[in-house]
């Protein structure tokens, strides 16, 4: 998943962005210039669960109609839903803060969804640009998608947590935090089987930088307490089985070579444990957040192989496994369940699908058909006693990662928005409530 997006904001875009936020935000308006807009960020990947081909671009997606038969409605299953969306202008409750007109209807649509969970992504490189600097909690974010309008700037993590706290006060929005993006000052040197063009953000932090990693976590928790947000669940690193987030995956370019990413991830997992133990409050860890990869290759590690290489005591001590599983013929949550079962833990893991979505590219099946496929997969997960949460990625669609609920220009919603609202807390207050019927929420035009 590419970690770096260049937001090539023109001068006109910058002026518009500042005017927008100044008109709706009582706090001082952030300024947006080329330096602050050209940010690196890890909130999207070019192809979930797929590795770019050796020649360049991402591998072409396969067909996305799941082969699983749709189970009949049942009182036995349970599935909560979650959402990932970095822009707080799509999160703030209307009664708490007005947002720009282009964002307002979709903010209201999120309110109708009423997610049980929310996933917050922390970019360590942005939050701690220097090892001796305090948390960069008020960094101006342009709120565009690179050069794509409309924009709705916000003031960094502080406003993200403020919007989250306001939603948590209404109920729901239990938060899962994941981390990625190694600062240049913390990154290990290039080594092993590394892809061309890999930068410091993708490399494992040096051991002598882990104190700063722990400090960053503690400062985020302190800021959350200050803003009134609760950050309960934490994972040490996003997609540690993919070289875009943790490189190299192996020291030798051979699919049969031992994984380097598993021991690196365990170091981060232990550092996270120490940081959460040292901080006040009740924080808990999850494992995984793996990219949905079914076959190991020289530069990626499959879900099954990564789980198999983890120590049993670590696996069994952490009751929640996070797995990315986008709509495709294979079910990556099922692959995780089978691999976890081989550890024979005393208790079954909960599996949280922390990233999912239905592709909205023009060459794909019609949007209503994709909606039906996604709803069928959600019903399969609900019928699986171990899969208990599914998180949509994201509200506003990244045009380079077309899995969102509304178009990049915020002019229209995809049919799947209605489907997610039907699964949400506004319609199903309890995760055990009956699932929506596919024809009902995804009608044929």
> Nearest CA to 361 among 1, 48, 2, 144?
48
Average pLDDT over residues 197-201: 96
What domains are defined for the chain? 11-52+64-441 (3.20.20.80)
Decide: 157 and 127 in contact? Cβ < 8 Å: yes
Q: What is the DSSP string of 4-54?
A: B------HHHHHHHHHHHHHH-SSPPPP--HHHHS-B--S--SSTT-PPPT
pLDDT the model gives residue 32 = 35
CA distance 221 to 74: 39
CA distances from 77 to 140, 378, 435 (A): 43, 11, 9
In percent, the amount of the chain with pLDDT more than 70 equals 82
> Nearest CA to 223 among 132, 171, 159?
159
The pLDDT confidence band at residue 75, using thresholds 50, 70 and 90, is low
Q: Kind and range of the H or E element at 388?
A: strand 387-393
Does 408 score more than 70 pLDDT? yes
pLDDT the model gives residue 366 = 86
Q: What are phi and psi of 174, to 5 degrees?
A: -60, 130
Decide: 410 and 148 in contact? Cβ < 8 Å: no
> Nearest CA to 80 among 365, 353, 376?
353
DSSP state of 189: P
**Neighbour tally for 215: CB within 10 Å:** 16
- Decide: residue 83, CB within 10 A, 0-12 exposed, 13-18 middle, 19+ buried: buried
Does 81 score more than 80 pLDDT? yes
Conformational region of residue 173, where left means phi above 0, alpha means psi within -120 to 50, and beta covers everything else: left
Q: How far is CA 131 from the centre of its chain?
A: 25
Model pLDDT for residues 200-242, shown as the tens digit of each residue = 999 999 999 999 999 999 999 999 999 999 999 999 999 999 9
Decide: 423 and 436 in contact? Cβ < 8 Å: yes
Decide: 294 and 329 in contact? Cβ < 8 Å: no
Does 399 score more than 70 pLDDT? yes
Average pLDDT over residues 307-321: 97
pLDDT the model gives residue 359 = 87
Beta bridge partners of 330: none
The pLDDT confidence band at residue 328, using thresholds 50, 70 and 90, is confident
Could you tell me where the beta strands, DSSP code E, fall in 161-310? 174-180, 233-235, 284-285, 287-290
Decide: 85 and 331 in contact? Cβ < 8 Å: no
Q: How many CA atoms lie less than 13 Å away from 149 in the CB half-sphere? A: 14
**Neighbour tally for 318: CB within 10 Å:** 20
User: Cα dihedral sign for 211, 213, 219, 222?
Assistant: negative
Does 186 score more than 50 pLDDT? yes
The pLDDT confidence band at residue 33, using thresholds 50, 70 and 90, is very low
CA distance 346 to 229: 33
Average pLDDT over residues 156-176: 98
């Amino acid at each position: 998943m590419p970690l770096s997006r260049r937001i090539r904001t023109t001068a006109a875009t910058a002026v518009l962005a500042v005017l927008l936020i100044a008109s709706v935000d009582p706090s001082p308006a952030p300024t947006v210039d080329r330096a602050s807009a050209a940010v690196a960020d890890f909130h999207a990947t070019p192809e979930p669960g797929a590795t770019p081909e050796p020649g360049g671009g991402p591998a072409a997606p396969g067909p996305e109609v799941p082969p699983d038969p749709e189970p009949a409605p049942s009182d036995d299953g349970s599935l909560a839903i979650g959402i990932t969306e970095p822009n707080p202008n799509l999160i703030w409750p209307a009664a708490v803060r007005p947002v720009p007109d282009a964002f307002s209807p979709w903010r209201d649509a999120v309110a109708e969804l009423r997610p049980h969970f929310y996933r917050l992504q922390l970019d360590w490189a942005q939050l701690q640009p220097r090892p001796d600097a305090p948390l960069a909690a008020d960094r101006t974010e342009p709120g565009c998608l690179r050069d794509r309008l409309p924009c709705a700037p916000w003031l960094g993590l502080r406003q993200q947590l403020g919007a989250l706290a306001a939603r948590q006060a209404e109920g729901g929005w239990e938060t899962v935090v994941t981390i990625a993006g190694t600062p240049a000052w913390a990154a290990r040197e290039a080594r092993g089987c590394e892809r061309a063009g890999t930068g410091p953000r993708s490399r494992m932090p040096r051991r002598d930088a882990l104190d700063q990693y722990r400090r960053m976590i503690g400062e985020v928790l302190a800021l959350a307490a200050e803003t009134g947000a609760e950050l309960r669940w934490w994972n040490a690193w996003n997609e540690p089985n993919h070289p875009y987030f943790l490189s190299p995956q192996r020291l030798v370019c051979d699919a049969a070579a031992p994984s380097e990413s598993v021991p690196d991830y365990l170091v981060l997992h232990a550092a996270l444990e120490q940081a959460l133990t040292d901080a006040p409050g009740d924080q808990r860890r999850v494992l995984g957040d793996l990219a949905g990869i079914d076959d190991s290759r020289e530069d990626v590690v499959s879900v099954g192989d990564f789980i198999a290489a983890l120590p049993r005591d670590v696996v069994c001590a952490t009751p929640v496994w996070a797995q990315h599983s986008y709509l495709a013929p294979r079910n990556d949550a099922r692959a995780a369940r089978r691999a976890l079962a081989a550890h024979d833990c005393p208790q079954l893991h909960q599996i949280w699908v922390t990233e999912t979505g239905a592709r909205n590219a023009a060459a794909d099946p019609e949007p209503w058909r994709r909606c039906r496929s996604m709803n069928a997969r959600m019903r399969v997960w609900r019928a699986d006693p171990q899969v208990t949460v599914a998180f949509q990625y994201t509200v506003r669609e990244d045009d380079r990662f077309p899995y969102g609920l509304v178009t990049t220009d915020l002019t229209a919603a995809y049919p799947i928005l209605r489907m997610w609202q039907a699964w949400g807390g506004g319609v199903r207050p309890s995760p055990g409530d009956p699932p929506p019927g596919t024809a009902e929420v995804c009608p044929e035009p």
